[in-house]
């Protein structure tokens, strides 16, 4: 077998077919694979390790903000789901139902969890009796089933993994503070750990979560110019509390309804990382969540024993502080391995050959920009740490520059349409606040209001659709 045969085959270039590039990247890097079950994927070990790293970092943040983990049933009785009409109507087309237990037909259908508001609220109505029971700060790591018509790995599948926080408070102010606090937790997480720049803001009434008082979100821009909702946080008000009779005796002796929130992110964050950072070689993974932060690849030559021995010692030096792997597979050439680990998005490659052993050095190669440097083996531990942090920062800066370059401000509908067709990306435009204009723009362009941003939302002209006085400047985009 020649070196050419051993080099990993190219994936479809993203410029040729971004959707196929995305699928090729997932399959060839062994993040996930398709199954015989419609719309469901298998998280392969490499992909699940990526999710575990995300989960661990997020879970730490939740616990630092006083939240505790719990687990609620996968199945929800139909009567319970139907207690909140607006909520169930929002999910009805996607609900999967259990109708039989063994050979017997169930007296009542069971919904397979599309979200957990109703089942959790039914328990909060039992647990909350006094102001002393508040606040309740609970998070759940779980799977969710939504019978999607069109699916794509990580982004939209019939079953997916997520976390959902559910809290109850004594006042509207506390609930609003919680809603915004958790949105900020998400924003900090995706920007700091995933190197994903986002726009944070409020959803319109038309786009808010079914049954919510207000919905807030963070929006990221993918390399094909489409937006991806990276996280949401909902102020549920007292709506669910009234439906499920979640009342408490306050300090003044009066029975009052609680104020609630819910918030969540899912494994679509993996899709966001792929589409934000990846290139035609495959993945680029931020060091803080990468399953393998550095890979050591020996180039044995005629002194394989010496090189392998030194490579093992280097691994011993680094492991514990870094997620490091040593590839000593003799059946693959170093060139094949270089290509393989580049495709898998490993942030840093450490090469060592006979000359490097003699010089007491290694060669370091960055995945983010391809830069090569030689460094003394005695300085390797410290250098790896510095390089991984620099890679993390550089990946964020690259993504931020892309987002800024592909964020456009328009002042009329012709400009709006031209930008969407020719440039793509985020489009900032004045909006009158009417749902009619919002839906008209969606029908004509397939672009939706991603959010009313917290920053730079003051209008500077008339509505881009109807020409009437604008009330807000909002962010539009075509989205996943």
Check if the beta carbon of residue 30 is closer than 8 Å to that of residue 17: no
Domain around 456? 408-477
208-236 exposure pattern, b = at least 16 Cβ within 10 A, e = fewer: bbbbbbbbbbbbbbbbbbbbbbbbbbbbb
Looking at residue 351, its pLDDT comes to 98
Give the domain-ending residue among 387, 422, 438.
387
Residues 357 and 217 in one domain: no
Does some domain include residue 239? yes
CATH number of 446's domain: 3.30.110.30
Looking at residue 53, its pLDDT comes to 98
Q: Which long-range contacts (CB under 8 A, 24 or more apart) does 316-319 make?
A: 317/380, 317/381, 318/294, 318/380, 318/381, 318/384
Check if the beta carbon of residue 256 is closer than 8 Å to that of residue 241: no
For 111, phi then psi, to 5°, come to -80, 135
Helices (H), 250-345: 268-277, 304-318, 334-343
Number of domains the chain is built from: 3
Does some domain include residue 397? no
For 172, phi then psi, to 5°, come to -65, -40
Residues 308 and 272 in one domain: no
For residue 362, count other CB atoms closer than 10 A to its CB.
25
Angle, helices 435-445 vs 413-422, to 10°: value is 40
Does some domain include residue 287? no
C-alpha to C-alpha distance for 314 and 352, rounded to whole angstroms: 10
CATH number of 273's domain: 3.30.930.10
Residues 112 and 252 in one domain: yes
Check if the beta carbon of residue 349 is closer than 8 Å to that of residue 341: yes
| H/E segment holding residue 172 | helix 172-192
Check if the beta carbon of residue 226 is closer than 8 Å to that of residue 203: no
Residues 131 and 236 in one domain: yes
C-alpha to C-alpha distance for 227 and 99, rounded to whole angstroms: 37
Does some domain include residue 448? yes
Check if the beta carbon of residue 145 is closer than 8 Å to that of residue 113: yes
Dihedral, 52, 53, 54, 56 alpha carbons, nearest 10: 80
C-alpha to C-alpha distance for 279 and 273, rounded to whole angstroms: 11
Residue with tokens 């997020």: 58
When computed from its CA atoms, the radius of gyration of the chain, rounded to whole angstroms, is 25
Give the domain-ending residue among 352, 387, 422.
387
For 222, phi then psi, to 5°, come to -90, 165
Give the domain-ending residue among 245, 277, 309.
277
Pairing verdict, β 407-409 and 426-431:
parallel
* DSSP code at position 279: B
Q: pTM of the prediction? A: 0.94
C-alpha to C-alpha distance for 1 and 332, rounded to whole angstroms: 10
Residues 35 and 65 in one domain: yes
Check if the beta carbon of residue 362 is closer than 8 Å to that of residue 307: no
Looking at residue 347, its pLDDT comes to 98
Does some domain include residue 82? yes
Pairing verdict, β 96-101 and 104-112:
antiparallel
Residues 170 and 53 in one domain: yes
Check if the beta carbon of residue 463 is closer than 8 Å to that of residue 437: yes
Residues 66 and 164 in one domain: yes
C-alpha to C-alpha distance for 31 and 50, rounded to whole angstroms: 9
How many degrees, rounded to 5, is the angle at CA 57 between CA 70 and CA 30?
100
Cβ burial, residue 386 (10 Å; 0-12/13-18/19+): exposed
Does some domain include residue 11? no
Residues 185 and 312 in one domain: no
Residues 30 and 135 in one domain: yes
Check if the beta carbon of residue 216 is closer than 8 Å to that of residue 263: no
Residues 243 and 314 in one domain: no
Which residues are registered as beta bridge partners of 298? Answer: 352
C-alpha to C-alpha distance for 283 and 258, rounded to whole angstroms: 45
Note the Cα 195 to chain centre separation in Å.
11
CATH number of 335's domain: 3.40.50.800
pLDDT in tens for each of the 480 residues of the chain?
344 333 446 799 999 999 999 999 999 999 999 999 989 999 999 999 999 999 999 999 999 999 999 999 999 999 999 887 776 677 778 999 999 999 999 999 999 999 999 999 999 999 999 999 999 999 999 999 999 888 999 999 999 999 999 999 999 999 999 999 999 999 999 999 999 999 999 999 999 998 899 999 999 999 999 999 999 999 999 999 999 999 999 999 999 999 999 999 999 999 999 999 999 999 999 999 999 999 999 999 888 999 999 999 999 999 999 999 999 999 999 999 999 999 999 999 999 999 999 999 999 999 999 999 999 999 999 999 999 999 999 999 999 999 999 999 999 999 999 999 999 999 999 999 999 999 999 999 999 999 999 999 999 999 999 999 999 999 999 999
Residues 167 and 312 in one domain: no
Helices (H), 227-267: 239-244
Helices (H), 85-161: 85-91, 117-127
Does some domain include residue 399? no
69-79 exposure pattern, b = at least 16 Cβ within 10 A, e = fewer: eeebebebbee
C-alpha to C-alpha distance for 372 and 461, rounded to whole angstroms: 50
Residue with tokens 């362009």: 445
Residues 116 and 253 in one domain: yes
Angle, helices 380-405 vs 268-277, to 10°: value is 90
Does some domain include residue 36? yes
């Amino acid at each position: 077998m020649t070196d050419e045969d051993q080099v990993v085959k190219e994936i479809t270039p993203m410029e040729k077919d971004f959707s196929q590039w995305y699928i090729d990247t997932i399959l060839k890097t062994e993040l996930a694979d398709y199954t015989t079950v419609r719309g469901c994927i298998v998280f392969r070990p490499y992909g699940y390790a990526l999710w575990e790293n995300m989960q661990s970092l997020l879970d730490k943040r939740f616990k630092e903000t006083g939240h505790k983990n719990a687990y609620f049933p996968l199945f929800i009785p139909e009567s319970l789901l139907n207690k909140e009409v607006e909520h169930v109507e929002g999910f009805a087309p996607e609900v999967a139902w259990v109708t039989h237990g063994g050979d017997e037909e169930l007296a009542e259908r069971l919904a397979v969890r599309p979200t957990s508001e109703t089942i959790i609220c039914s328990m909060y109505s039992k647990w909350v009796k006094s102001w002393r029971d508040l606040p309740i700060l609970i998070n759940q790591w779980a799977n969710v089933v939504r019978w999607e018509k069109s699916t794509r790995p990580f982004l939209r599948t019939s079953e997916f993994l997520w976390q959902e926080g559910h809290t109850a408070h004594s006042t509207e102010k506390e609930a609003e503070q919680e809603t915004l606090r958790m949105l900020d937790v998400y924003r900090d997480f995706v920007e700091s750990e995933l190197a994903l720049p986002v726009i944070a803001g409020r959803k319109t009434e038309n786009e808010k979560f079914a049954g919510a008082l207000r919905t807030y979100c963070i929006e990221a821009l993918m390399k094909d110019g489409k937006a991806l909702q990276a996280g949401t946080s909902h102020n549920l008000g007292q709506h669910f509390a009234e439906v499920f009779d979640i009342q408490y005796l306050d300090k003044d002796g009066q029975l009052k309804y609680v104020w609630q929130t819910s918030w969540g992110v899912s494994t679509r964050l993996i899709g966001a990382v792929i589409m934000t950072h990846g290139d035609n070689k495959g993945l680029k993974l931020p060091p803080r969540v990468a399953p393998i932060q550095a890979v050591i690849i020996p180039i044995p030559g005629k002194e394989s024993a010496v090189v392998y021995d030194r490579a093992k010692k280097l691994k011993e030096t680094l492991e514990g502080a870094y997620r490091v792997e040593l590839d000593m597979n003799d059946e693959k050439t170093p060139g094949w391995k270089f290509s393989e680990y580049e495709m898998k998005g490993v942030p840093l490659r450490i090469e060592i050959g006979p000359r490097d052993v003699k010089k007491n050095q290694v060669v370091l190669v960055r995945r983010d920009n391809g830069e090569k440097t030689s460094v003394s083996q005695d300085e390797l531990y410290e250098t790896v740490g510095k390089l991984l942090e620099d890679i993390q920062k550089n990946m964020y800066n690259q993504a931020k520059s892309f987002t800024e370059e592909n964020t456009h401000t328009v002042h009329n509908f012709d400009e709006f349409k031209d930008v969407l067709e020719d440039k793509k990306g985020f489009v900032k435009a004045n909006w009158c606040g009417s749902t009619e204009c919002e839906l008209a723009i969606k029908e004509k362009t397939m672009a939706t209001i991603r959010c009313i941003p917290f920053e730079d939302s003051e209008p500077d002209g008339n509505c881009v659709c109807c020409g009437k006085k604008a009330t807000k400047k909002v962010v539009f985009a075509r989205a996943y």
